[in-house]
C-alpha cells in the first residue's frame, strides 16, 4: 500500500507544478505526518524534491528531472498507442506519426512481438461508421497548426438554419465532443469566445497575422460552456413503444426510464429548448409521443404535418397514374 501511495504522490508531483502537503494528505486519505515521511522517502530515493513556504508554498520536483521509461508499464504503452492511433485516424498529422514512432520505440522487440501475437483488444477511432464526419481532414491539421502558432484564420460558417456567415477568429484549440470536432476560438465578429463545428466550416484561410494570447485556456472555456445551457430547460415526459427499450435505455439511462404494464416506456428528462431537442424527438419517428409539455407536443405534431405535406404531391401523382392504368 505504501509503495502504491509513493508512486501516486510521485505521479501527482510530476503532473503538477507545485502541490501542498495538505492537498496530498486529502487525496491519499492519510495524515500530514505520513505525507511528510513519504516526501522524505521519495527525496532520498533519488527523485529531487524542492519545498517552498508562504501562501503559494508546497512541494515540487526539480524542473530538470525526467521520469524513466521503466516506470511506464507495457500495458501503459499499449493504452497510449491505442489512444494516439484513434486520434491520428482523424488528424492525419505528420507530427502525430512521429509521436507514434517515438512511443513504439519505447516498446522492446519482445513486447512488440507479444502485441502482434495477441492482436488488438481495444480500438479507439474518432471516425464515424456511417459517414457524416469531417470530410476534409486538412482543416484539422491547418487549425491545429494555427492554434499552436497563434495565427488568425477566417472561414465561412454555416449555422443550423443553413445561414452562412464569414468569420475571422483567433483559434485556441480543437476538441472532439461526442461525435464531432469543434474549434474553440475568439470570434472577432461577436467579440467573444465561440465554438465552431468543423463540419460546417468551409473556405478556410490561414492569415499571416499573429494574435496575442488573451489568457483564457481551453479547459476554462470547456468548463464554462459545460455548465451553460443553450436555452431554457424543458422537462419532458415521453412515451415510447416497447420494441425501443434497448435504444431508449442506452440514450436516456435506466434511472430515467419507467416500464409500463403494457411494456411501453415513459421517460422523464430535461433538455434545453432548442433545435437539437426537437430533432432528437423526431429521430424516433412514430415510435415516440410527447405527453408533456403540450407546447412541445404541438410543435412536434406541426413538424410532422409539414413533413407529410412534402410528399402529398408525390402521392397524388402516383394515385392518378394508377387510375389511368
In this prediction, residue 155 carries a pLDDT of 96
CA triple 45-50-52, angle to 5 deg: 150
Report CA-CA distances (Å) from 55 to 18, 21, 236. Answer: 12, 13, 49
Please compute the mean of the pLDDT values over residues 144-165 and round it to a whole number.
Answer: 90
pLDDT of residue 107: 64
Across the chain, mean pLDDT equals 81
Q: What pLDDT score was predicted for residue 210? A: 96
Longest dimension (CA), the chain: 97
Residue 289 host element (H or E): strand 288-292
Q: What is the pLDDT of residue 57?
A: 87
Mean pLDDT, residues 85-94 taken together: 65
The third-level CATH classification (topology) of the domain covering 233-309 is Alpha-Beta Plaits (3.30.70)
User: What CA–CA distance (Å, rounded) separates 224 from 226?
Assistant: 5
Per-residue confidence (pLDDT) for residue 168, from 0 to 100: 97
**Mind listing the pLDDT tens digit for each residue in 184-207?**
999 999 999 999 988 889 999 999
Work out the pLDDT band at 61, boundaries 50, 70, 90.
confident
Phi, psi dihedral angles at 72 (to 5 degrees): -90, 120
Backbone angles phi, psi at 9, to 5 degrees: -65, -40
For residue 104, what pLDDT is reported? 67
List where CATH 3.30.70 sits in the chain: 233-309
Segment 197-255, tens digit of pLDDT: 888 899 999 999 999 999 888 888 888 776 555 557 899 999 999 999 988 988 888 88
Q: List Cβ neighbours of 163 (8 Å cut-off, separation of 6 or more).
A: none
b (16+ CB within 10 A) / e for 135-156 = eebebbbbbbebbeeebbbbbe
Within the chain, residue ranges assigned H as helices are 2-15, 21-28, 32-44, 74-91, 94-105, 109-118, 138-149, 218-226, 245-252, 275-282, 294-309, 312-324
Q: CATH 2.30.30 region(s) of the chain?
A: 138-226
Going by CATH, does the domain composed of 138-226 fall within 2.30.30?
A: yes
The helix-helix angle for 32-44 and 2-15 (nearest 10°) equals 80
In angstroms, the CA 282 to CA 190 distance is 32
Residue 251: which of 277, 228, 273, 232 has the closest Cα? 277
pLDDT recorded at residue 143: 92
Most confident region among 159-168, 239-248, 316-325 by mean pLDDT: 239-248
Q: What angle do CA 194, 196, 201 make, to 5 degrees?
A: 145
Which CATH number is correct for 2-67, 1.10.10.10, 1.20.1180.10, 2.30.30.90, 1.10.290.10? 1.10.10.10
Kindly report which listed range (60-64, 108-112, 304-308) carries the lowest average pLDDT score.
108-112
Packing angle between helix 32-44 and helix 21-28, nearest 10 degrees? Answer: 110
Residue 72 has pLDDT above 60, yes or no: yes
Closest CA relative to residue 65, chosen from 14, 24, 18: 14
Nearest to 50 by CA among 62, 38, 66: 62
The pLDDT, as a whole number, for residue 116 is 64
- Does residue 272 surpass a pLDDT of 90? no
pLDDT exceeds cutoff 60 at 312 = yes
268 vs 89, more confident: 268
CATH 1.10.10.10 in the chain, residue ranges = 2-67
Band (pLDDT 50/70/90 cuts) for residue 259 is: very high
pLDDT value, residue 235: 94
Amino acid at each position: 500500500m505504501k509503495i502504491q501511495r509513493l508512486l501516486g504522490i510521485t505521479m501527482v508531483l510530476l503532473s503538477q507544478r507545485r502541490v501542498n502537503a495538505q492537498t496530498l494528505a486529502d487525496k491519499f486519505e492519510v495524515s500530514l505526518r505520513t505525507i511528510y515521511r513519504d516526501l522524505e522517502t521519495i527525496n532520498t530515493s533519488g527523485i529531487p524534491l524542492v519545498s517552498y513556504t508562504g501562501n503559494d508554498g508546497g512541494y515540487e520536483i526539480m524542473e530538470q528531472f525526467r521520469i524513466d521509461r521503466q516506470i511506464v508499464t507495457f500495458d501503459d504503452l499499449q493504452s497510449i498507442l491505442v489512444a494516439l492511433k484513434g486520434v491520428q485516424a482523424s488528424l492525419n498529422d505528420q507530427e502525430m506519426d512521429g509521436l507514434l514512432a517515438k512511443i513504439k520505440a519505447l516498446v522492446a522487440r519482445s513486447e512488440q512481438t507479444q502485441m502482434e501475437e495477441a492482436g488488438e483488444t481495444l480500438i479507439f477511432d474518432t471516425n464515424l461508421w456511417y459517414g457524416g464526419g469531417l470530410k476534409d481532414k486538412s482543416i484539422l491539421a491547418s487549425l491545429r497548426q494555427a492554434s499552436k502558432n497563434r495565427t488568425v484564420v477566417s472561414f465561412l460558417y454555416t449555422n443550423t438554419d443553413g445561414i452562412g456567415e464569414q468569420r475571422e477568429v483567433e483559434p485556441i484549440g480543437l476538441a472532439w465532443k461526442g461525435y464531432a470536432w469543434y474549434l474553440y476560438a475568439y470570434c472577432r465578429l461577436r467579440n467573444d469566445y465561440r465554438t465552431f463545428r468543423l463540419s460546417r466550416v468551409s473556405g478556410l484561410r490561414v492569415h499571416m497575422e499573429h494574435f496575442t494570447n488573451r489568457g483564457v485556456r481551453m479547459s476554462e472555456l470547456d468548463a464554462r460552456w459545460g455548465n451553460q445551457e443553450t436555452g431554457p430547460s424543458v422537462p419532458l415526459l415521453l412515451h415510447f413503444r416497447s420494441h425501443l427499450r434497448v435504444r431508449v435505455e442506452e440514450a436516456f439511462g435506466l434511472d430515467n426510464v419507467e416500464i409500463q404494464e403494457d411494456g411501453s416506456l415513459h421517460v422523464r428528462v430535461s433538455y434545453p429548448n432548442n433545435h437539437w431537442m426537437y430533432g432528437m424527438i423526431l429521430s424516433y419517428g412514430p415510435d415516440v409521443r410527447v405527453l408533456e409539455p403540450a407546447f412541445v407536443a404541438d410543435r412536434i405534431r406541426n413538424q410532422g404535418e409539414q413533413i407529410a405535406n412534402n410528399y402529398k404531391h408525390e402521392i397524388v401523382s402516383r394515385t392518378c397514374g394508377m387510375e389511368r392504368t
